[in-house]
Amino acid sequence: MKPSQIVEGLWSVGAVDWDRRLFDSLIPLPDGTSYNSYLVRGTEKTALFDAVDPSRTDILLENLKDVPSLDYVVAHHAEQDHSGSLPAVLEKYPAAKLVCSPKAKGILVDHLGLPEERIVVAADGETLSLGGKTLEFVHTPWVHWPETMCTHLREDGVLLSCDFFGSHFAQSGLFVEDERAIYPAAKRYFAEIMMPFRAAIRKNMDRLKALDIRIIAPSHGPVYGRPAFILDAYRDWISETPKNSVLIAHVSMHGSTGRMVARLISALAERGVDVQAFNVSAVDLGKMAAALIDAATIVLASPAVHVGLHPNAASAAFLVNALRPKARFAALVGSYGWGHKMAEQAVGLLPNLKVEVLPPLFVKGMPREADLRAVDELAETIARKHREAGLA
Ligand code: FEO
């Protein structure tokens, strides 16, 4: 994408990656992504904010071809999708200083071998004037690394937020065009990398309240011309109150566990409980992560494989545990041939969850009518727990 002006003196100069389908060898990118880099020209000095993924270095440098000099390169975040092309940028602009948070300095040196003598650390709240453009550096740790920070452009009311408020969403335009399309992309992005850090993000959101923010320009996805859209969404997602919703992560081999899951979905729906069910043998992990934001109960459903959980169920449990969702309850259902240790294994995989584990429900062989009635009772228990917690 060619450079585009956001407001007078602020340009988007990064790259859109329409084709990328996987991030961190883990996160699906159904809508591609972008690595947004911003150029700010004051009357006296010029600064670049964040670079791009190394695979798109040529695009960034092409977009900077008419920029003869940079005084500062601000690195909000040391992860390589924003920092990977910093060495090329610093080589092109040998007089530029690299500005980052104190924590970022060591990480950038370790990960990219950047020369320490070119790095200037910015304290929380420190300001820097480019001439008519005042930069205020706001430390926002743990969105989603410890060194992350944002920059507030005071005169323009623009927050350059890097990963904070981002979305993996490729589009040709600069600003959010359809909030309904961006919402699920931003939600899954939050779930995938921000959800474990809700407490830190709450503090950072409080910090931002004092700032005049008219535009939010993140480093992934489109720019928010109506910041309330994404700020309100984040306030909902970082809340510790889940919704009247159950996430079922399930896998079946010969249909026994599958029958129990089908019955559970119906029984929960009959009781007015929202159900988000994911077959973890062919799952969009981003979609499942997004559903974890709202789930009050997480159900893991698995057949026994070598007396333990099906490996795909174990993998899903491992991911759920890593994302530390706000769920209040967990339930285990499944089937086995002759014996199993699935309950002990599942509980052992979920130490980060602060949940009440409901009595597990495992059947030997194909579920019979009594087993399916037990599934109904589990649904009733879940619905009642949600009511008692004030969620329904
Ligand atoms: Fe977009 Fe944490 O990097």
The verdict on the CB of residue 79 being under 6 Å from ligand 1 is: yes
CATH topology identical between 4-237 and 246-385: no
Which of ligand 1's atoms lies nearest the C-alpha of 144?
Answer: 2
The verdict on the CB of residue 220 being under 6 Å from ligand 1 is: yes
The verdict on the CB of residue 20 being under 6 Å from ligand 1 is: no
Which of 209, 217, 212 has its CA nearest to residue 235?
209
User: What is the average pLDDT score of the chain?
Assistant: 97
**What is the residue with the minimal CA distance to atom 2 of ligand 1?**
79
CA of 191 from ligand 1 middle (Å) equals 13
Q: In the CATH scheme, what architecture does the domain 4-237 have?
A: 4-Layer Sandwich (3.60)
The domain segmentation of the chain, as residue ranges, is 4-237, 246-385
Averaged pLDDT for residues 360-365: 97
The verdict on the CB of residue 77 being under 6 Å from ligand 1 is: yes
CATH superfamily of 246-385: Flavodoxin domain (3.40.50.360)
The verdict on the CB of residue 386 being under 6 Å from ligand 1 is: no
Which of ligand 1's atoms lies nearest the C-alpha of 166?
Answer: 1
CA distances from 335 to 121, 346, 382 (A): 57, 14, 20
CA of 79 from ligand 1 middle (Å) equals 5
The verdict on the CB of residue 82 being under 6 Å from ligand 1 is: yes
CA of 195 from ligand 1 middle (Å) equals 14
CA of 53 from ligand 1 middle (Å) equals 10
Q: 2 pLDDT exceeds 90? A: no
CA of 142 from ligand 1 middle (Å) equals 11
The CA angle 57-59-64, to the nearest 5 degrees, is 95
CA of 76 from ligand 1 middle (Å) equals 10
Which of 278, 41, 38 has its CA nearest to residue 159?
38
CA of 65 from ligand 1 middle (Å) equals 25
Q: 1 pLDDT exceeds 90? A: no
Split at pLDDT 50, 70, 90, the class of 383 is very high
CA of 163 from ligand 1 middle (Å) equals 5
Which of 214, 271, 219 has its CA nearest to residue 245?
271
The verdict on the CB of residue 163 being under 6 Å from ligand 1 is: yes
**What is the residue with the minimal CA distance to atom 1 of ligand 1?**
163
- Tell me, yes or no, if the pTM score tops 0.75: yes
pLDDT digits 0-9 by tens, 61-110: 999 999 999 999 999 999 999 999 999 999 999 999 999 999 999 999 99
pLDDT digits 0-9 by tens, 185-239: 999 999 999 999 999 999 999 999 999 999 999 999 999 999 999 999 999 999 9
The pLDDT value given to residue 352: 97
